[in-house]
Chains A and B, each alone.
Chain A
Amino acid sequence: MEFTLKTFIFYGFALMTIASALAVVTVRNIVHAAFALMVTLFGVAGLYVFLQADFLAATQVIVYVGGILVLILFGVMMTSGRLEMRIHIERGQLLLGGGISLALLMLLLTVIANTPIWKNLTDDGTQLAPTTERIGQLILNEKFLLPFEVVSVLLLVALIGAALISRKEVRD
């Protein structure tokens, strides 16, 4: 394989993602794990850019890093008294978790094995265009309009639920 600048940056992002993902599951300190997750999410956003999914990459950062991760950190900082906790795993959990991981690994290996050739998408003449416009049109077309609306209703329900739970009891 030709070693160009692009492949160099790609392996940089891949390494970043995998190393930080390993850190997320191995580090003892929960806050450190959360910050390692930030690096993982950034790495995945970088990989999206390599797939020419620019809009998705920015959305990934804005939603996961700017929103969800902040919420996770809020949760961790507000609730846990001890940050260094010993995580002990029981045998049943180990079997179950190991089984699921193994199944996932087999699935991914099958996908990798069945992918015919590793090729650069731009080489075979297909023009890669910015995705924002196409995503917008697909979401507001008949094709994906219903799922999109269902998801927005779900989010609204979650929002109202959160407001209901966190609201003070009013006695009258």
Chain B
Amino acid sequence: MSDFFSDGFFKNINLQDSSNWATDFVQDVIIPRLPEAVAGHFSVELGTVIVMLVCAGIFVAVVPLLPLVLVLAERKVAARFQNRTGPMRVGPWGTLQTLADGLKLIFKEDFIPPQGDKVLFLLAPYVIFACSFAVFAAIPFGQDILVSDFNIGIFYIMAISSVIVMGVIMAGWSSNSKWSLLGSLRSAAQIVSYEIPLGLSILTIVMLVGSLSMREIVASQDGGIFTWIIFRSPFTFIAFFIFFISAIAEVNRTPFDLPEAESEIVAGFHTEYSGMRFALFFIAEYANMFAVSAIGVTLFLGGWQGVLPGYDFLGGLPGFVIKTLGLVFLMMWLRWTLPRLRVDQLMNLCWKYFIPISFFNILGTGIWGLIFKEDDVWSIGISCAIIYIALISAYAIAGRNLARRPEPQPS
């Protein structure tokens, strides 16, 4: 398998030389290995298309497997948090439960609301699904495991994920149901608002690294855990938390799950969907959750780089997946711990706290960059010291405030 990757299978396009990795792969690897009689008639163009389709196929095949695992994980985590056992019946410890649920969904009736807008209703799941998948094209899973190294990597990801909101509006409007419409409008307002702090916190990293390319952002974090961008300056430390909280809001998870608040608007924008179309929304949701965690790991937590410089510990594809699943677990933890926000709290948090803090971060990163020209030991040491002191004092303040709060009286 490693031989397969080192053949340059996933080596990439760069607008600079306008060559194409798939074409190179066909010319350098496939054609020399073909029997002579066939090689003469083999079209490189056609080969390129086939190689690209195969690559896309790998992702389309692998990514739906993620929800299969993540849904089960979520149910098990939730169960543990509530002192239950979770699904236990299907397969050992209930491990085949999601598969059984998926099969059930496939055989369910595919109901289309007769009063709704049929074309848009059928189209909406695909818009959301396609956009969540397109994000995976620019995420570097390992040194050479990257479908496409765009020069504008992270900007491309932001652009594509901003289209998801169109799918949500499409689904909500075409269902012709008040719950769906309310859910989709809430979702649109939320996504459009939280995109701003998300983009601004990404901008601090772009300022620090000086590139939009995902590959270069990961390459700049190659000196072990203290060169990971989260520890490079106190401002990126703040930016990570703003990024992560905004990302939870972007994927509509509790405490920001107003668009699909069960107790208020049934299930939000996918109320009217059933069967496989509902499953598509479900898969897209969990794929999104994995994708934003993977982006967080790439931008702040060293991507596929290991913890220690020169060692492969927690590095490469396995390390990347472990770190990403760590963030996914954090999201699940938050979901089963915190209650849902109100709409006004949601908007206050975004516009009155996150956006000003993000602007402060950008200013701070600029000043930090002026003081420390290069990323040397000093700058990282000072930044870690500041982060440490800030965390300790925050802990102390929080502890004192919590201690002062009166005990709730039993009623």
- Given the interface pairs A35-B170, A70-B166, the reply to whether A54 lies near B152 with Cβ below 8 Å is yes
Binding site for B on A (CB under 8 A): 4-5, 29, 31-32, 35, 38, 52, 54-55, 58-59, 61-62, 65-67, 69-70, 73-74, 77, 122, 127-130, 132
CB of B159 within 8 A of CB of A54, answer: no
**Given A31-B117, A31-B173; A69-B152 close (CB under 8 Å):** no
Question: CB-CB < 8 A to A67: which residues of B?
Answer: 162, 192
**Cα of A61 to Cα of B188 in the assembled complex, Å:** 16
Known pairs A5-B49, A59-B155, A132-B151; list 4 more (Cβ under 8 Å).
A35-B120, A61-B159, A129-B16, A130-B15
Q: Are A66 and B120 also in contact (CB < 8 A) when A35-B170, A54-B151, A132-B152 are?
A: no
Q: Could you tell me the distance between the alpha carbons of A149 and B358 in the complex, rounded to whole angstroms?
A: 21
Whether the pair A54, B192 counts as a contact (CB closer than 8 A) is no
Chain B interface size, as a band, is 20 to 34
Asked whether, in the complex, the Cβ of A61 is within 8 Å of the Cβ of B181, the reply is no
Distance in angstroms from A144 CB to nearest chain B CB is 20
B398 at the interface (CB under 8 A from A): no
Distance to closest chain B CB from A126 (angstroms): 11
Interface CB pairs A-B, < 8 A, 13: A31-B120, A35-B120, A58-B155, A58-B156, A61-B162, A66-B159, A70-B165, A70-B166, A74-B188, A77-B169, A77-B185, A129-B15, A130-B16
Bound Cα distance from A15 to B151, whole angstroms: 27
B162 contacts A65, CB within 8 Å?
A: yes
User: What's the A-B contact tally at a CB cutoff of 8 Å?
Assistant: 82
B222 at the interface (CB under 8 A from A): no
- Knowing A77-B173, A77-B181 are in contact, say whether A62-B162 is a contact too (CB < 8 A): yes
Report A155 CB to chain B, min CB distance, Å.
14
**Across the interface, do A132 and B117 meet the contact criterion of CB distance under 8 Å?**
no
CB-contacts of B145-178 with A (<8 A): 150-152, 155-156, 158-160, 162-163, 165-166, 169-170, 173
A137 nearest CB across to chain B (Å)? 13
Whole-angstrom CA separation of A38 from B123 in the bound complex: 13
User: Are A130 and B48 in contact (CB-based, < 8 A)?
Assistant: no
Task: Identify the closest chain A residue to B52 (Cβ).
Answer: A5
Instruction: With both chains docked as a complex, state the minimum distance between the C-beta of B240 and any C-beta of chain A, in angstroms.
Output: 22
